[in-house]
Amino acid sequence: MITKPRDMQVAPIGAETLIVRGRSWKRLRFEIEYARERGTTANSYLIQADRVALFDPPGATFTEIFLPALQARQDLGKIDYVILGHVNPNRVETLHTLWQLAPHLTFIGSNPGIKALQEIVAQKYGETLAKQELKTIVVRGEETLDLGQGHELSFIPTPIPRFPTALCTFDRKTGILFTDKLFSAHVCTDQIFDEGYLAYLPDRRYYFDCVLAQQSRQLLSIIDRLQQYPAQVYAPGHGPILKYGLHSLVQSYREWLQNQQQKNVTVAMIYASAYGNTTTLAHALARGIEKVGVAVELINCEIAQPQEIRQIIERSAGFLIGSPTLGGHIPTQVQTALGIVLDCAPKSLPAGVFGSYGWSGEAVDVIAQKLKDAGYTLAFEPIKVKFTPTAATLQFCEETGIDFAQQLKEVRRIKDRSGYATAIEQAVGRIVGSLCVVTVHKEDVTSAMLASWVSQASFSPPGLTVAVAKDRAIETYLQEGDYFVLNILEQGKKTERYFLKTFAPGEDRLTNLPTTPSPQGNPILTDSLAYIECQVEQRMECGDHWLVYAIATSGKVLQDNSLTAVHHRKSGHHY
């Protein structure tokens, strides 16, 4: 296990341009919605021309080491501008401390970004500071700023539902495009650029799936706009800088986004968020929905126009509404969106309600009751979460999203096909596999699934493959580097029947089964024929499944004189 502390890394990346990045070799609190544990970097950038610009100071996690790093280089007092790729409450703590040390600073951001900055500062530190003393420049379109020495900055507002304050910046002298959240990855390394970029592709794909996949319509347009700038380097907010694999990743983004748009069932996810917690819930639900092959259209009420909301609702097969509770009430933007839904959404559409709150949670209950009174059916009990959601809460939301989408897919399946297997599907179904149970444990989350598509894949090292459906909740915890236990079932035991039942979202699959911890802390079913603990080495996307190749790290036969349970099927279009 990596035990390196958090630290700062400063290095040149272009003419008069430095990266100043905080590194954490372990997953941070703000990453809790991502099960992948590869650490992270919080990338800031400094252009030291005639006028000095600092890009994206990190959040509160790195405040104590970030500012001394600037002071040690005597850079702090020279900064003229702080350019904000996005604004959130976590980052404002650093910005406020930075402003106290250098009150001459001017903050540059998009119109929603500066508005959010002023609102958060007013809430935390007082309205006078926010409106009178804080110097700001609002970017309303594609504007420019000349720092001297050839560093002409072009600002490109790039709002998306999750990051309505987003702003990219292009420096013509260095050819660097500062992309903030776009093209990022949560992975911590010593290297700054992306040499051997293919090794980081799973990290970038995982970040895309967790953060950006549900915004395909807006992102395709943004990528087209960014191509107008002759960038040689993309400098994201997290992970290695893109240079060697830049064009390859841009093409991959296009393919991933286009695949999202080709899905023929869509769910509208309508939400607003005061401190980011409701947004986190929305994306956990959306991730579960996406796993089933259903598209999600995110609608951030703070930036969406009424006609846009109406159009998305009219082409959706279901909808979810998320809201914080502000002063015991529903925010105005959510009330407006709810009115549009009640006006145009057919009563046959399944619905759901969720939200976070601090001291009360009336908004979720009020929205749920209004939908019921209007004749809509709620597909799940309203989800109310106090303060910041935990890993277990997010797993519950993801599984709820999976169940919600599976209901929609089942309705579509009944409409689209007769239910009879084709000749090919009948032939594929005759492939026999051993019955196993895959188990994992991380933090306060335990998950398990029945697996029958399992095969040995290599002798040296001893390796195996497991096919995992994309809509399995456990898939989140089977990323490269993760450990799991493959419990091989014994013929004639009832364990198989136990795992064939339907589990509620968030339900512990192993509550009623005897287990013991593996060397890596994953559950071993003590009644199984044998177990193998494995570490994921590679993953390959195969249609509606992921093929996981893993190396065996430990294992034991528990029942010497028993036979392996096998699974016989008559059709290749279901288990």
Q: Is the pLDDT of residue 189 over 60?
A: yes
Same domain, 447 and 471: yes
Q: Which of 259, 288, 320 is the last residue of a domain?
A: 259
DSSP string, 500-538: HSPPPTT--TTTTS-EEE-TTS-EEETTSSEEEEEEEEE
**Single pTM value for the model:** 0.77
Same domain, 99 and 203: yes
Higher pLDDT, 28 or 93: 93
Same domain, 193 and 274: no
Q: What is the pLDDT of residues 111-120, one digit of tens each?
A: 999 998 988 8
Contacts of 548 (CB under 8 A, 6+ apart): 465, 466, 467, 468, 478, 536, 538, 539
Q: How many domains does the chain have?
A: 3
Position 561 scores a pLDDT of: 84
Same domain, 238 and 384: no
- d(CA 504, CA 486) in angstroms, rounded, equals 23
Quote the mean pLDDT of the chain: 89
Same domain, 15 and 122: yes
Q: What is the pLDDT of residues 265-293, one digit of tens each?
A: 899 999 998 888 899 899 899 989 988 88
Same domain, 409 and 432: no
Same domain, 177 and 126: yes
Q: What is the pLDDT of residues 502-547, one digit of tens each?
A: 888 888 888 888 999 999 999 999 999 999 999 999 999 998 899 9
Query: Which candidate, 54, 51, 56, 44, places its Cα nearest to that of 10?
Result: 44
CATH number of residue 342's parent domain = 3.40.50.360
Structure tokens belonging to residue 346: 């057919």
First-to-last alpha carbon distance for the chain, in angstroms, is 37
Range of the domain at 175: 7-259
CA angle 20, 26, 29 (to 5 degrees): 90
Domain annotation covers residue 112: yes
Same domain, 354 and 427: no
Mean pLDDT of 29-55: 83
Domain annotation covers residue 334: yes
Q: Under a CB-based contact definition with an 8 Å cutoff, are residues 479 and 202 in contact?
A: yes
| Burial grade of 224 (CB within 10 A; 0-12, 13-18, 19 or more) | exposed
DSSP string, 109-162: EEHHHHHHHHHHHHHHH-HHIIIII-EEEEE-SS-EEE-STT-EEEEEE---SS
- d(CA 390, CA 366) in angstroms, rounded, equals 24
Domain annotation covers residue 573: no
Same domain, 444 and 404: no
CA angle 34, 285, 386 (to 5 degrees): 80
